[in-house]
Structure 1
Amino acid sequence: MSAPEPILIWGAGAIGGTLGAYWARAGIPVLLVDIVPDHVEACRTTGLAITGPIEEFRQVVPAVTPAELTGTYQRIVLAVKAGATDASLSALAPHLAEDGFVLSAQNGLNELAIAERVGAARTMGCFVNFGADWHGPGEILYGNRGAVVVGELDGALTPRALEMHRLMRIFEPDAVLTDNIWGYLWGKLAYGAMLFATALTEDSMSANFSDPRRLPVWLALGREVGAVAAARGVASLGFGEFDPMVFAPGRPEYPQIAAIAWLADYTSKTAKTHSGIWRDLAVRKRKTEVDPQIGVIAALGREAGVATPALETLVALIHEIEDGRRPLSFDTLKVLIDRCN
């Protein structure tokens, strides 16, 4: 009897590596694909170390570089940075079985790009909000549990969606199977836009969210994302006690302020004090996912006739930091604060 076909996880960083380690530990056949040779070698030899307050373990996980990969696979979990989606799709497409699918365990609206490339029927949506960081070859910090949601793009409760939900529950027992994956993805975009803004400074996420001087930024970003989502007919869904629908057009301000207060508290209770975006800018000195994650909202807003001045200013400021033209500082964030007042 042949061994079960492994789940192919394309991108073994914070999200993909954490999922892969948990699945492999549970006896689920997994094959990681990553472009960092030292990380690949560590995963398949000495093992992938998951550290942090949730639990700590080391798990050997089969891993290859894209050049070493052969064969086709029914289930491919795409877990790369949003900016690497197009290049990754070009590399993985030959390895996707005709009746297989790609599940986007990423941040942003990558399902749009995946569906355009391989077809909507071969695309599955996924919302992840747990905190993790890739710290180096074979090392991932799992900072806090968070929402994990899977669903078909058209909302159908298919056998393959049920199976991926079962697998996700191995990692996160409270994982959700939804008929409104777009609602979750757009809901996270409101939070995601705010996280990008916290990365304009050296301060922690919680310090940013708890500072009254910065409140106009969080409110403006939430409202702009809410307006674009509404224009696209999306009913946004939240996580924990964060309800992005409070930022929908015409909603009162007090619940919006309460949502930011909840974020200040929520982000104060994780071992991951700063966002992965901040880590890209301050530590890894590399470009962020700002264009495919936040720039795309502004572009969709223009299509729908919705103005997004705060989002567009945020994208411009992130680019200026990436290019070395601005530092991470309160003065940089002050440009956005002034735009939102």
Structure 2
Amino acid sequence: MEITIIGSGAIGGVLGAYIARAGVNVVFCDIEQEHVNHIRYKGLRIEGPAEEFVVKGEAYTPEELIARNKQLDWVFICTKAHHAQQALDQVCQLINKDATIVSFQNGLIDLKVPVQKKVSEPLCCFVNFSADYLEPGRILYGGVSSVAIGEFNGTSTDRLKVLKNILEHWGPVKQTHNILGYLWSKLSYAALLYATALVDETMATVVDRKEFRPALIELCAETLEAAHVKNVNVHSFDVWRPELIFPRENQKQELLNAEFDRISTWMAKNKKQKSGIWRDIAIRRRKTEVDFDLVPILEIGRQHNLSFPLTKFVIERIKELEQGAKQMSWDNLMDLKKLYEDDVLR
């Protein structure tokens, strides 16, 4: 068995390193030549809360992988959501009908494999552990957190069992009949993370600010309402309990405050203190995954005559931050709070 990691940054790098350390044949693939060279010649360093280790392995750019001209067995697509389809298309010529493709994107992404390839639909993987690509050959790992896998149609298959065995070289993995429930729940949590990235502060600091919590809770409720109209039964994970947020009529302020206190404490203990969204904007100066995470929520709202004003605001403000038209500031959250008080509460 050979596992090919397409996109060997934060998530792909961590999973690939743990799997490779267990003795499984792992091939790393990434568009960054310097990162590839580092893995190939010096190794990939994982800096976690409990341990640090280095693994060496085969590593290629996509062009080098194609020139290698070897059929792929298991393919893990671990790129950012907006690069995933292109990444798959680029190596598609190496995929045969016996290959298994696994999507590690948390957003609403539907990877397409050409029909003539006769490859089974990609497996879905929900990932909630935190990691950051720091520099070539070096990844910060926040520690074990929830991972769940499933077939898109909810069935139980042999390839799911094999995937579970592979991923358990990293840590505990849940096989589920409701992978969409996990992915949609993560989207509602992602809405919160996008809001924390409006400020140049730690996630825990933002979540701890009680004056912003009503707006943040409603922001998350908008995504959960979209899931509801899509008939998705969302699933809790780690410290995230969407059932406390939606349906709105079931909200109890005391429980929500206690829950957000718990989330803030959990975030503060994580080795990764700021979100990948923040890092994309502030450090890597690149686009976030907002078009795949939050923009579809607005489209679902339009289809069902629902207004999601807070989601719309966060999308617009994130795009302004990406373009440099706005700066990270508490003023952004003040604007979100004002919108909530003026448009939602009335």
> TM-score per shorter chain, which class?
over 0.9
Q: Which stretch has the larger CA shift, 66-75 or 47-56?
A: 66-75
> Which amino acid counterpart does residue 191 of structure 1 have in structure 2?
Y
- What is the match of residue 344 of structure 2? none
Number of aligned positions between the proteins: 335
CA gap of 1:114–1:206, structure 2 versus 1, over 3 A, is farther
Q: Offset of 1:120 from its aligned partner?
A: 9.1
User: Which of 8, 16, 20 is equivalent to 2:16?
Assistant: 20
Q: Flag the 1:23–1:214 CA change in 2: closer, same or farther, 3 A.
A: same
Q: Distance in 1 between matches of 2:113 and 2:182?
A: 17
Q: What one-letter code is carried by the residue in structure 2 that aligns with 1:54?
A: A
Q: CA deviation at 1:145?
A: 1.6
Letter in 2 for 1:203: E
SS at structure 1 position matched to 2:272: coil
Q: Report the Cα distance in structure 2 between the residues aligned to 1:193 and 1:274, rounded to whole angstroms.
A: 14
How far residue 116 of structure 1 moved from its aligned partner, in angstroms, is: 9.0
Summarize the alignment of residues 156-175 of structure 1 with structure 2, pairs less than 5 Å apart: 156-172=155-171, 174-175=172-173
Q: 1:113–1:202: structure 2 CA closer, same or farther, 3 Å change rule?
A: same
Distance 1:115 1:181, change over 3 A: farther
SS in structure 2 opposite 1:9? strand
User: Equivalences for 1:268-279 in 2 at 5 Å?
Assistant: 268-279=268-279
Aligned to 1:66: 62
Asked whether the equivalents of residues 227 and 306 of structure 1 are also in contact (C-alpha less than 8 Å), the reply is no
Mapped partners of 2:268, 2:30: distance in 1: 32
Residues 192-223 of structure 1: CA deviation (Å, up to 9, x unaligned): 11001100001110000010121123211111
- The change in CA–CA distance for 1:270 and 1:138 in structure 2 (over 3 A counts) is same
Which whole-Å CA distance do the structure 2 matches of 1:138 and 1:120 have between them? 32
Matched, 1:36 2:35: no
For the 8 Å contact 2:198–2:332, the answer to whether it is kept is yes
Alignment of 1:158-197 (within 5 A): 158-172=157-171, 174-197=172-195
Amino acid of the structure 2 residue aligned with 1:25:
R
CA distance in structure 1 between the aligned counterparts of 2:133 and 2:118, rounded to whole angstroms: 30
Gaps of 5+ in 1: none
Q: Report the CA distance shift for 1:132/1:319 in structure 2 as closer, same or farther (over 3 A).
A: same
TM-score by length of 2: 0.92
Q: 1-side partners of 2:206 and 2:137: how far apart?
A: 31
Choose which of 212, 215, 218 in structure 1 pairs with 2:216: 218
Tell me whether 304-313 or 205-214 shows the greater mean CA deviation: 304-313
SS at match of 1:306: coil
**Partners of 2:263 and 2:158 in 1: CA distance:** 35
SS in 1 for 2:216: helix
Matched, 1:318 2:318: yes
Q: Which amino acid aligns with 1:8?
A: T
Q: Distance in 2 between matches of 1:107 and 1:241?
A: 17
The answer as to whether partners of 2:80 and 2:289 remain within 8 angstroms in 1 is yes
* Cα distance, 1:115 vs structure 2: 6.9
Using the alignment, how far apart are the partners of 2:225 and 2:53 within structure 1? Answer: 43
Q: Which residue of 2 aligns with 1:262?
A: 262
CA distance in 2, matches of 1:184, 1:71: 34
Q: In the alignment, is residue 236 of structure 1 matched against residue 234 of structure 2? A: yes
Gaps (5+ residues) in structure 2?
342-346
Q: 1:119 to 1:190 in 2, by over 3 A?
A: farther
Q: Which stretch of the first structure deviates more once superposed, 177-186 or 260-269?
A: 260-269
RMSD: 1.8
Q: Distance in 2 between matches of 1:272 and 1:200?
A: 17
- Please tell me whether residue 144 in structure 1 is matched to residue 143 in structure 2: yes
Identical pairs, percent:
35
Match of 1:253 in 2: 252
Change (3 A) 1:43 1:225: same
Deviation at 1:100, TM superposition (A): 2.3
1:33 is displaced (CA, Å) by 0.9
Cα distance between partner residues in 1 of 2:12 and 2:175: 19
Distance (Å, rounded) in 2 between the aligned partners of 1:183 and 1:26: 30
Which moved further from structure 2: 299-308 or 131-140?
299-308
SS of 1:127's partner is: strand
Cα distance in 2 between the residues matched to 1:206 and 1:27: 37
